Amino acid sequence: MIRIGVIGYGYWGPNLVRNFVESPDTRVVMVSDLKQDRLDLVQRRYPGVEVTTDFQEILNHPNIDAVAISTPVSTHFPLALQALQSGKHVLVEKPMTTTSEDALRLIDEAERRKLILMVDHTFVYTGAVRKIRELIDKGSLGDIYYYDSTRVNLGLFQSDVDVIWDLAVHDLSIMDYILPSSPVAVSATGVGHVTGATENIAYVTVFYDNSLIAHLNVNWLSPVKIRRTLIGGSKQMIVYDDIESSEKIKVYDKGVTVKNGSDESRYKLLVSYRSGDIYSPQIDVTEALRIEAQHFADCIKTGKAPITDGHAGLRVVSVLEAATKSMKQQGRAVQLKAQNLAVA
Amino acid sequence: MIRIGVIGYGYWGPNLVRNFVESPDTRVVMVSDLKQDRLDLVQRRYPGVEVTTDFQEILNHPNIDAVAISTPVSTHFPLALQALQSGKHVLVEKPMTTTSEDALRLIDEAERRKLILMVDHTFVYTGAVRKIRELIDKGSLGDIYYYDSTRVNLGLFQSDVDVIWDLAVHDLSIMDYILPSSPVAVSATGVGHVTGATENIAYVTVFYDNSLIAHLNVNWLSPVKIRRTLIGGSKQMIVYDDIESSEKIKVYDKGVTVKNGSDESRYKLLVSYRSGDIYSPQIDVTEALRIEAQHFADCIKTGKAPITDGHAGLRVVSVLEAATKSMKQQGRAVQLKAQNLAVA
Amino acid sequence: MIRIGVIGYGYWGPNLVRNFVESPDTRVVMVSDLKQDRLDLVQRRYPGVEVTTDFQEILNHPNIDAVAISTPVSTHFPLALQALQSGKHVLVEKPMTTTSEDALRLIDEAERRKLILMVDHTFVYTGAVRKIRELIDKGSLGDIYYYDSTRVNLGLFQSDVDVIWDLAVHDLSIMDYILPSSPVAVSATGVGHVTGATENIAYVTVFYDNSLIAHLNVNWLSPVKIRRTLIGGSKQMIVYDDIESSEKIKVYDKGVTVKNGSDESRYKLLVSYRSGDIYSPQIDVTEALRIEAQHFADCIKTGKAPITDGHAGLRVVSVLEAATKSMKQQGRAVQLKAQNLAVA
Amino acid sequence: MIRIGVIGYGYWGPNLVRNFVESPDTRVVMVSDLKQDRLDLVQRRYPGVEVTTDFQEILNHPNIDAVAISTPVSTHFPLALQALQSGKHVLVEKPMTTTSEDALRLIDEAERRKLILMVDHTFVYTGAVRKIRELIDKGSLGDIYYYDSTRVNLGLFQSDVDVIWDLAVHDLSIMDYILPSSPVAVSATGVGHVTGATENIAYVTVFYDNSLIAHLNVNWLSPVKIRRTLIGGSKQMIVYDDIESSEKIKVYDKGVTVKNGSDESRYKLLVSYRSGDIYSPQIDVTEALRIEAQHFADCIKTGKAPITDGHAGLRVVSVLEAATKSMKQQGRAVQLKAQNLAVA
């Protein structure tokens, strides 16, 4: 039984608490939040869980093995660092930190202390994303040509991060998990429409060392909610629509084949189109966070590295850093540092 | 009665011919195409129309007042120039030319000869785009924040232009017509997946001198066809889905309001969200090309400048040029020349 | 503070308990269920709530004012009757009873004892249905022509009721609330595909004394989930799609107008079509059961009749009875008894 | 080369003419219509085709082998009969006649004269319906449980037929082609909302001799256009949405299995649910009428019976007759006569 302390009971914290409560392998010992009304809510729902406005109580608690951190992004690094230094395993909300330096520091601290450091890249644990990885791994798509995601809605304006760090982070964590190669450069554009706020609309292109290209369209000011990703391959293509309840993934047996031979047309290349059946595989509908909570407990018990370990967190933060940097320069490409992209 | 010659009876030419045939103010005198089987088709459908494999016959024809050109992009300039020099009014397929220099040359030639030069920016003549312009003009949207378009499908690979010149041109012509300000710079990224072919996937950001931003996602290798544009404003927002048959335009009474006062939340700005009714205005469903053909005839008769005149064509070509240039440099912003963006 | 006992913690009971727990005006004192594992779940979630496998403990409990019954349909009548006889107010799951005689008996018992008898016609308390009623009440639709609902999915086969009593009951309760006139006869057809089970697919037509007609398509064996209702009127028409998250209700300014004058066409009547804007009104998204729980508490406090009182329950049961009777005779119309349809 | 005369150039006639013109095996010799402006349109489009306001000229024309009839329903019988008596092969619009007696008379006349009599059941020739038949024929669906179609829109009010004869006829012709058993009885309900006009909304249940049931929801007064059919089987289920452009048919690997064993639940039957992948087979997108026109020509040349021969027309008319009869009696089931349902 892994004993958990949860820091932050705002938007996402309740989901963490609920899943750690319902898992047979974990128990929630204490929850901290700066706001008393949030703690009152915890006590009404879970009378057996201790509450505090001082997160230090969690770090000092002798009966807590691991800490889950769901607080504003800027606090991830200091809280995670102190938790590791207090000898606790750590599950931290995405994005892991606000800089790659901080991310490296956490990885280092965890490795020295032989503690588990895991990032809450929730989408990686969904049935849909695991199915897409399975399809790519077994070669169904052939060479991957592009990953093209639109993730927009009328969203909460965050005060400490821009829309890239709030929304594109989801896609970057998915890409980190499913794509077979590593990004090399980023070009991003974006703008803010609310005085004093960060950019609320942004477009991020991620370049790879082959002809693979990824693009993320993120927007806090969209009248409609869209969560749709197209993944193109040389053999098959995928449409992943996370809003669809029954057919989240569709696999299209479509593509192009380049023909040899003389050009009989002035107008077109000798490109022929294949168009076949479409199928929608059944996917596991278990709540991602339930699987993730279980994985965190398993990693603590066995000592193995989590799928979304600190290195995954660092790789994602590195691209986010580069994207924001490029956005400030109207799209000038920013190269990524190879050492930040290494797999553990 | 305006007497028309049509050069090119490939993909789009038949639509031009059909609309000029059915209009009471125009008559199709002759059609040219390099392929005899295309001309055979013309004769089966319109036994009274003359055909030729030599476009010079159209230029030399004494009973032809105006020439419509629907040939590959690279031929637009020489054909349009010769037509103007032969004293014919010209309607030319989009994009008008492959360079802004050529576009300027055509504008100059037409103005000197007092001939009508019109570009076939078809979307400008659709009921949907005219309705959007009407909504923007009367201030329904407030300040325009962004124009965000996705225009993808499993499309024909063009041999003489990349996907930007083939697909983004539609959005650029729409933007030129509906947006209240002028673009100042362009950042584009893209890649080609077929050896020997041009870029088949591209992402174009267009910057304006205020916080307006536009973005175009164009792709010849998408498994699904998407034609959706989001237009965000400070008061209302529009979703324009050209694939929808019955509700092409939806207007959302949604947005954000920034509040004054002390920050009571560490996590969020004092941004409040308005969310009201959605409505879908009825739009004129007349075929755009019918309206456009009539407008061409009217301009010839009255001598007034077409809505999509040579200057509109030039403005669109200027952005296309800059986009391709930026794409070759991984997104580095390319500034637009002010003189190319002038309105006649 | 109204003190509640809940009988039955199966599929729907947890929603009742949750809403009564979260309402400031109600408190859940005890929950009964025949299965110990369901009671264990109650205790894990709500440590302060008493549990029992014997519902009699609830009926005899001196500190319980009202009982909510969410058990199989065939037990509604005996449980509700005993609860009323024990002096408890009653909220009973839909359909209220399995026969109109039983429904009349409950109404009688409640009225004699001056107790609140309310039926859980949940949809009546949704923002969507309340908005539709508002539109009809203010005359937006004109004369109501038809109510046409499709309510199908791959559903749980019930052992004690057929698909009409399980699914059509929702529409009948909505119709009872929003339609301005009373049904007079019912024709239904249906069939069962599983040996030993009840009908799993059925079609119910409800006739009114004017040209209003209602039709319900209900099916437990559909590959897709559909929850769509068309409501036609002489002035406007509504599409109510309960699966849509953002535009549940659309109002169409469409219809026909019959012209006077001579028939100029052999083929068509002089019927002209109006087609105008479409709009989607914003609707209250508060959970229906929260509003309903509050309404139950209010009625107990004030003694006023609930919107979905015993009479509403009886009217719905009367149509269900007639529908099943008609279905056994391949659609022969069954007349409804006027006394069962009276409004209190 | 089969030489065709077409009687009626109203709504559907132009499609017939166009397809017979474009087929290499047929030639349109003459078109008749009562209205001169329709004939003017023919001449503008097809200068080589003769026109007349007197259909007798077609019947008497020595160079016409076959007649296609696309006139109001009530004229089908007399025109088709005269055409057969004039020795012409006949393709007649659906529904074939207004009574089964008339249908039998045409079958008889054609058989005696060894002429082809074909009914224009267009949907039977679509790629979608042919694919569904192929799936049913090879047993993919298992036992067929139901055919459930919704076919509604804001449609033209017909003066000589009710909505069943206008819209349900499409489904009846599809059912006749794809379903493995014969209907035995019909129950229908419906109502008219326009004074002096026929029923504009109707619901038709068709019973078969096993547990197969079919249901058709047809409506001329719907605010939205729906063309969706669910087909349930014991193994797989189909959703056929004719409005979808890219995925008209979806096959769901879903269903129920009845388990043996003791009843462990008071609430549910021992019915378990299978839920697997969904796939959308590629379908032939050739225009149905092109295939049908070719089939008509082939039958004339070879003398073989058309897929949609007079007997198919009779079977459909028999169900239509029964449906209207049932509708006049508020849904009382009307038995079908076995002899009218025979396959040739």
* Helix-strand-coil split of chain A, %, nearest 5: 35, 30, 35
Q: How many Cβ atoms are within 10 Å of A227's Cβ, its own excluded?
A: 18
**Residue ranges of chain B assigned to CATH 3.40.50.720:** 2-120+288-307
Q: How many Cβ atoms are within 10 Å of A247's Cβ, its own excluded?
A: 21
Instruction: Walk along chain C (344 residues) and give the pLDDT tens digit of each residue.
Output: 999 999 999 999 999 999 998 888 999 999 999 999 999 989 877 878 999 999 999 999 999 999 999 999 999 999 999 999 999 999 999 999 999 999 999 999 999 999 999 999 999 999 999 999 999 999 999 999 999 999 999 887 777 899 999 999 999 999 999 999 999 999 999 999 988 789 999 999 999 988 999 999 999 999 999 999 999 999 999 999 999 988 999 999 988 876 654 444 444 555 677 788 999 999 999 999 999 999 999 999 999 999 999 999 999 999 999 999 999 999 999 999 887 887 76
Q: What are the C-alpha distances in Å from C6 to residues A44, A110, C31, D265?
A: 19, 50, 5, 20
Inspect the interface and report whether the beta carbons of B280 and C279 lie closer than 8 Å. Answer: yes
CA-based nearest residue in chain D for residue C250: D223
Structure token digits, residue C42: 């109650």
DSSP-derived pairing of the beta strands D334-335 and D183-191:
antiparallel
3-state secondary structure of A284: coil
Q: What are the C-alpha distances in Å from B185 to residues B133, B323, B337, B338, D96?
A: 23, 9, 9, 10, 65
Rounded to 5 degrees, what are φ and ψ at B244? -60, 135
Q: How confident is the model at residue B259 (pLDDT cuts 50, 70, 90)?
A: low
Closest CA to D69 of D87, D95, D42: D95
Q: Would you call A223 an interface residue with chain C, using a CB distance cutoff of 8 Å?
A: no
H or E, element range at B228:
strand B221-233
Instruction: Give the Cα separation of A8 and A55 in Å (integer).
Output: 9
Mean pLDDT check: name the lowest of A226-240, D64-78, D186-200. D186-200
Closest CA to C104 of C94, C114, C123, C117: C117
**Which positions in chain A touch B9 (Cβ < 8 Å)?**
none
Mean per-residue pLDDT over chain A, rounded: 93
Domain B124-285+318-341 CATH (choose: 3.40.47.10, 3.10.129.10, 3.30.360.10, 3.40.1390.10): 3.30.360.10
- Please check the confidence at residue D96 and state whether its pLDDT lies above 50: yes
The pLDDT score that the predictor gives to residue D299 is 98
Q: Would you call C48 an interface residue with chain A, using a CB distance cutoff of 8 Å?
A: yes
Instruction: Give the Cα separation of D66 and D89 in Å (integer).
Output: 4
Domain B2-120+288-307 CATH (choose: 3.40.720.10, 3.30.70.20, 3.40.50.20, 3.40.50.720): 3.40.50.720
CA-based nearest residue in chain D for residue C156: D268
B vs C: CB pairs below 8 A? 25
Q: Would you call C254 an interface residue with chain D, using a CB distance cutoff of 8 Å?
A: yes
Residue A42 contacts residue A17 (beta carbons within 8 Å): yes
Q: Would you call B274 an interface residue with chain C, using a CB distance cutoff of 8 Å?
A: no
Q: Dump strand ranges (E) for C33-72.
A: 50-52, 66-69
Closest CA to B71 of B105, B87, B95: B95
Residue C241 Cα, gap to closest chain B Cα (Å): 15
Inspect the interface and report whether the beta carbons of A330 and B34 lie closer than 8 Å. Answer: no
Residue D48 Cα, gap to closest chain B Cα (Å): 9
Q: Would you call B195 an interface residue with chain D, using a CB distance cutoff of 8 Å?
A: no
* Chain B neighbors (3+ CB pairs < 8 Å): A, C, D
CA-based nearest residue in chain C for residue D207: C330
The pLDDT score that the predictor gives to residue B48 is 82
Inspect the interface and report whether the beta carbons of C258 and D158 lie closer than 8 Å. Answer: no
- What is the complex's ipTM, to 2 decimals? 0.94
Closest CA to C267 of D319, A51, A14, D72: D72
Instruction: Give the Cα separation of A122 and A148 in Å (integer).
Output: 19
Q: Would you call D342 an interface residue with chain C, using a CB distance cutoff of 8 Å?
A: no
Q: Would you call D247 an interface residue with chain A, using a CB distance cutoff of 8 Å?
A: yes
Q: Is A87 left (phi over 0), alpha (psi -120 to 50) or beta?
A: left
The percentage of residues in chain A with a pLDDT greater than 70, rounded to a whole number, is 96
Q: Look up the pTM and report it.
A: 0.89
Mean pLDDT check: name the lowest of A246-260, D66-80, D300-314. A246-260
3-state secondary structure of D78: helix
Q: How confident is the model at residue D158 (pLDDT cuts 50, 70, 90)?
A: confident
- Please check the confidence at residue B307 and state whether its pLDDT lies above 70: yes
**Which positions in chain C touch A48 (Cβ < 8 Å)?**
47
**Which positions in chain D touch A239 (Cβ < 8 Å)?**
none
- Please check the confidence at residue A268 and state whether its pLDDT lies above 80: no
Rounded to 5 degrees, what are φ and ψ at C68? -110, 130
Q: Dump strand ranges (E) for A133-270.
A: 144-154, 183-191, 201-208, 213-219, 221-233, 237-241, 249-258
Instruction: Give the Cα separation of A185 and A214 in Å (integer).
Output: 11
Residue C269 contacts residue D159 (beta carbons within 8 Å): yes
The pLDDT score that the predictor gives to residue C266 is 41
**Which positions in chain D touch A277 (Cβ < 8 Å)?**
279-282
3-state secondary structure of D320: helix
Inspect the interface and report whether the beta carbons of A333 and B333 lie closer than 8 Å. Answer: no
**In the CATH hierarchy, which fold is given to the domain comprising D124-284+318-341?**
Dihydrodipicolinate Reductase; domain 2 (3.30.360)
- DSSP assignment of B262-304: ----SSB-SEEEEEEEEEE-----S-HHHHHHHHHHHHHHH-P
The pLDDT score that the predictor gives to residue B272 is 72
The percentage of residues in chain B with a pLDDT greater than 70, rounded to a whole number, is 96
Residue numbers of B between 65 and 104 with CB closer than 8 Å to A: 72
Q: How confident is the model at residue A344 (pLDDT cuts 50, 70, 90)?
A: low
The pLDDT score that the predictor gives to residue C265 is 47
H or E, element range at A31:
strand A26-32
Instruction: Give the Cα separation of A316 and A310 in Å (integer).
Output: 10
- Bridge partners for C229 per DSSP: C149, C240
Mean pLDDT check: name the lowest of B34-38, B140-144, B243-247, B281-285. B243-247
Which of C236, C254, C277, C284 should we substitute to test contact with B (largest number of B Cβ atoms within 10 Å)? C277
**Which positions in chain D touch C187 (Cβ < 8 Å)?**
187, 189, 330-331
CA-based nearest residue in chain B for residue D18: B45
**Residue ranges of chain A assigned to CATH 3.30.360.10:** 126-285+318-341
Mean per-residue pLDDT over chain D, rounded: 93
Q: Would you call C280 an interface residue with chain B, using a CB distance cutoff of 8 Å?
A: yes
Residue D290 contacts residue D312 (beta carbons within 8 Å): no
**Residue ranges of chain D assigned to CATH 3.40.50.720:** 2-121+288-307
The pLDDT score that the predictor gives to residue A307 is 97
**Domain A2-123+288-308 sits in CATH 3.40.50.720:** yes
Give tens-digit pLDDT for B193-226. Answer: 988 789 999 999 999 988 999 999 999 999 999 9
Please state which CATH number belongs to domain A126-285+318-341.
3.30.360.10
Q: Which residue has the tokens 């608490």?
A: A17
Q: Would you call D159 an interface residue with chain C, using a CB distance cutoff of 8 Å?
A: yes
Residue A78 contacts residue A86 (beta carbons within 8 Å): no
**In the CATH hierarchy, which fold is given to the domain comprising C2-122+288-306?**
Rossmann fold (3.40.50)
Q: How many Cβ atoms are within 10 Å of D35's Cβ, its own excluded?
A: 13
**Residue ranges of chain C assigned to CATH 3.30.360.10:** 124-285+318-341
Residue A66 contacts residue A3 (beta carbons within 8 Å): yes
Structure token digits, residue B231: 């237009």
CA-based nearest residue in chain A for residue D246: A278
Alpha helices by DSSP H, listed for B98-156, are 100-113, 127-137
Instruction: Give the Cα separation of A249 and A237 in Å (integer).
Output: 10
Closest CA to D231 of D218, D213, D244: D213
Give tens-digit pLDDT for A24-79. Answer: 899 999 999 999 999 998 987 787 899 999 999 999 999 999 999 999 999 999 99
Closest CA to D2 of D106, D107, D89: D89
- Please check the confidence at residue A275 and state whether its pLDDT lies above 90: no
CA-based nearest residue in chain D for residue A246: D278
Structure token digits, residue C57: 């403990």
Length of chain B: 344
The pLDDT score that the predictor gives to residue C264 is 44
**Residue ranges of chain C assigned to CATH 3.40.50.720:** 2-122+288-306
Q: How confident is the model at residue B45 (pLDDT cuts 50, 70, 90)?
A: confident
Instruction: Give the Cα separation of C162 and C156 in Å (integer).
Output: 11
The pLDDT score that the predictor gives to residue D264 is 44
Q: Would you call D47 an interface residue with chain B, using a CB distance cutoff of 8 Å?
A: yes
Structure token digits, residue D141: 């669906």
Instruction: Give the Cα separation of C151 and C167 in Å (integer).
Output: 7
Residues 6+ apart with CB under 8 A from A272: A256, A257, A259
Q: Would you call C189 an interface residue with chain D, using a CB distance cutoff of 8 Å?
A: yes
DSSP-derived letter for residue C156 is P
Instruction: Give the Cα separation of D169 and D94 in Å (integer).
Output: 7
Mean pLDDT of the D11-23 span: 93
Q: D2-121+288-307 belongs to which homologous superfamily?
A: NAD(P)-binding Rossmann-like Domain (3.40.50.720)
- DSSP assignment of D239-294: EEETT-SS--EEEEEEEEEEPPS----SSB-SEEEEEEEEEE-----S-HHHHHHH
Instruction: Give the Cα separation of C209 and C89 in Å (integer).
Output: 35
Which of A7, A76, A163, A221 should we substitute to test contact with B (largest number of B Cβ atoms within 10 Å)? A221
- Please check the confidence at residue A204 and state whether its pLDDT lies above 70: yes
Instruction: Give the Cα separation of B290 and B20 in Å (integer).
Output: 8
Closest CA to B65 of B20, B120, B109: B20
Q: Would you call D282 an interface residue with chain A, using a CB distance cutoff of 8 Å?
A: yes
The pLDDT score that the predictor gives to residue C279 is 92
- Please check the confidence at residue B41 and state whether its pLDDT lies above 60: yes
Mean pLDDT of the A114-138 span: 98
CA-based nearest residue in chain A for residue C44: A46
CA-based nearest residue in chain A for residue C243: A245
Residues 6+ apart with CB under 8 A from B288: B122, B123, B124, B125, B126, B127
Helices (H) and strands (E) in chain C, counts: 10, 15
Give tens-digit pLDDT for D218-227. Answer: 999 999 999 9
Which of D245, D282, D283, D285 should we substitute to test contact with A (largest number of A Cβ atoms within 10 Å)? D282
H or E, element range at C202:
strand C201-208
Mean pLDDT check: name the lowest of A122-126, B73-77, C69-73, C245-249. C245-249
Residues 6+ apart with CB under 8 A from D265: none
Q: How confident is the model at residue D197 (pLDDT cuts 50, 70, 90)?
A: confident
Closest CA to B8 of B96, B73, B88: B73
**Which positions in chain D touch C215 (Cβ < 8 Å)?**
189, 203, 217
**Which positions in chain C touch A224 (Cβ < 8 Å)?**
246
Instruction: Give the Cα separation of D313 and D76 in Å (integer).
Output: 12
Residue A4 contacts residue A29 (beta carbons within 8 Å): yes
The pLDDT score that the predictor gives to residue C170 is 98
Q: Would you call D245 an interface residue with chain A, using a CB distance cutoff of 8 Å?
A: no
Q: Would you call D273 an interface residue with chain A, using a CB distance cutoff of 8 Å?
A: no
CA-based nearest residue in chain D for residue A253: D282
Q: How confident is the model at residue D46 (pLDDT cuts 50, 70, 90)?
A: confident
